[in-house]
Amino acid sequence: MKKFALALLSIVVIAIVAFLIFAPAEFEKQTNMVDGKPLPAIRPEAQKLHDSLMIVDLHGDTLLWKRKITDSVDRGHIDLDRLQAGNIGLQIFSSVTKTPKGQNYDSNSGDTDNITLLAITQMQPVRTWFSLLERQLYHAQKLDRAVAVSAGAMMPISQPGHLDTLAAARNQSDGPIGVLFSAEGLQTLEGERANLEKLYAAGMRMAGLVHFFDNELAGSMHGMEKGGLTDFGRTIVRDMEDMGMIVDIAHSSHATVADILKMARRPVVSSHGGVQAVCGVNRNLTDAEIRGVAATGGIIGLGYWDGAMCDTNPATVAKAAKHVRDLVGIEHVALGSDFDGAVTTRFDTSGVVQITQALMDAGFSEAEIRAVMGLNALRVIKAGLVPLSKTAAPAQAGVQPGGNTRTSRAG
C-alpha cells in the first residue's frame, strides 16, 4: 500500500509539473491567434516603401505571457525575430495585471481576476501572486532582461534624447528596435500616489488609467458604473504630466475621456482601438472624442483585431485612418496593434507591411504613410517624455507646451 501511495504521489507530481510547463504555452496558442484568412501578395513598391519607414506600434501585451521576447516561438504575435522581419522601429510593451472573469466589452466588475491564476501557473515569483504593483514591476524586469540579453538588438526608451539616438541607429542596416514600457490600467498603484514614482523609476513612460473594470482612478468603458475621473485620478493625471509620462485614454469611459481631455496639458494618446464611424463598438472613439484628442495634439492608435475594426482586413485599418485624417488631420493617426492582447488578427508583427500596402491602396501619399506608420507617434512620445516642469513655459489645459494651440482642423 505504501509503495502504491508513493507511486500515485509521483504520478500526481509529474502531472502537476507537466501542467505548469506546457499549459501556459497551450493557453496562449488558443488566445493570441492569426486567423489565416487570405492576404494580398505584397507589391514590390509597397515593400520598398515599408523597408524605409520608421514604424511605431503603440501597444503590445507580450509581457503577460510565459516567454521571452528574444525567443523565437510558434505562438502569439510578437518576438524579436518577427519585430525585425516587420521592420518595427519602436515597440511599446504594455503591462496587463488584472482582467475580470467573463471579460466583455459591455460591463465588468473588478471583483474577480484571471491574471492571478495565470501568474501562478506561469510560476512567476510569489510576490506577484497577490500584489498588482509587484506584478507590474515584474513585467518591467522582464523587459529589462530582454534588452540585456538582446546583444544590442533592443534599446530602452525613457528620455526624449533616446529617440534621437534610436533614429540615428536605425539608419544602419542592423539598427536596434526601441522598446518602451507602458501600463494597461493603474489599479497597480493600489491607491498609493507614491507608487507612480516606483513605476516611473522602473521605466514606465505611458499608462492608461483603466482596463476592463472601474478602479480607484476612473471609470472604464467596460466597467459597471462607467463614471469619470475620481479626485485620485485627477491627481495622478497631473503627476503623470509633471514627471513626463504619457496619458493613454484607451479603455476609458466616455466620462473619463471627457474629463482627461478637459484637463490635459500634454498631447493625449489613445494607444489601441478604433473609431465608431468605422466600427460601432463601445470601446471605439466617437468623432467628438477624436476631435478632443486632436485638440491636445495627440494621436489615435489604430488596432488590427475585429474588436477595433469589426473585421481583421488591413483595408479596414486604412479606412479608419482615412476617417481620422479627413476629420482632424493626418498628424493624429498612428498604429496600436494590441498584438498578444488576447486577440485574433490577420497577421502578426512580421506582416505589418500589409498596413503599408493597404494605405497605398487607399490613396495615402508617401508622406502621409510615413506619418501614420510612425512619425506622428515619435513626435507625441518625444514631447510627452519631457517632464512638464522642464518645458519652456507653463501649459494650459487643451494647449500643448510651447504655445501650440488646438489643431485648426479639430473643430
Q: What is the pLDDT of residues 124-182, one digit of tens each?
A: 999 999 999 999 999 999 999 999 999 999 999 999 999 999 999 998 878 999 999 99
Residue 273 lies in a domain: yes
Q: What are 331's three cell numbers?
A: 498628424
Q: Is 300 helix (H, G, I), strand (E, B) or coil?
A: strand
Q: What are 281's three cell numbers?
A: 463598438
Distance CA 253, CA 364 (A): 32
Is there a contact between 63 and 139 (Cβ–Cβ < 8 Å)? yes
pLDDT at 399: 40
Residue type, 100: P
Please state the domain count of the chain.
Answer: 1
Q: What are 352's three cell numbers?
A: 505589418
Residue 113 domain boundaries: 44-402
Residue 12 lies in a domain: no
Residue 396 lies in a domain: yes
pLDDT at 6: 52
Q: Residue 232 sits in a domain of what CATH number?
A: 3.20.20.140
pLDDT at 4: 52
Is there a contact between 56 and 378 (Cβ–Cβ < 8 Å)? yes
Is there a contact between 252 and 221 (Cβ–Cβ < 8 Å)? yes
Residue 37 lies in a domain: no
Cα separations (Å) of 386 from 56, 156, 180, 266? 19, 16, 15, 10
pTM of the model as a whole = 0.90
Q: What is the pLDDT of residues 72-115, one digit of tens each?
A: 998 999 999 999 999 999 999 999 999 999 999 999 999 999 99
Residue 2 lies in a domain: no
Q: In sequence order, what DSSP letters do the residues of 190-239 get, joined into one string?
A: TT-TTHHHHHHHTTEEEEES-SSS--SS--BTTSSS-----HHHHHHHHH
Q: What are phi and psi of 60, to 5 degrees?
A: -140, 145
Distance CA 182, CA 114 (A): 20
pLDDT mean values, one per 10 residues, the chain (411 residues): 53 43 69 94 98 98 96 94 98 98 95 95 96 98 98 97 96 90 98 98 98 98 97 98 98 98 98 97 96 98 97 98 98 98 97 98 98 98 90 45 33 35
The CA angle 67-73-77, to the nearest 5 degrees, is 85
Q: What are phi and psi of 335, to 5 degrees?
A: -115, 140
Residue type, 174: D
Cα separations (Å) of 380 from 33, 84, 220, 268? 30, 23, 24, 8
Residue 15 lies in a domain: no
For residue 373, give the DSSP letter. Answer: I
Residue 393 lies in a domain: yes
Q: What are 263's three cell numbers?
A: 484637463
Q: Which residues neighbour 72 within 8 Å (Cβ) at sequence distance 6 or greater?
A: 79, 80, 81
Residue 36 lies in a domain: no
Q: Which residues neighbour 68 within 8 Å (Cβ) at sequence distance 6 or greater?
A: 142, 145, 146, 149
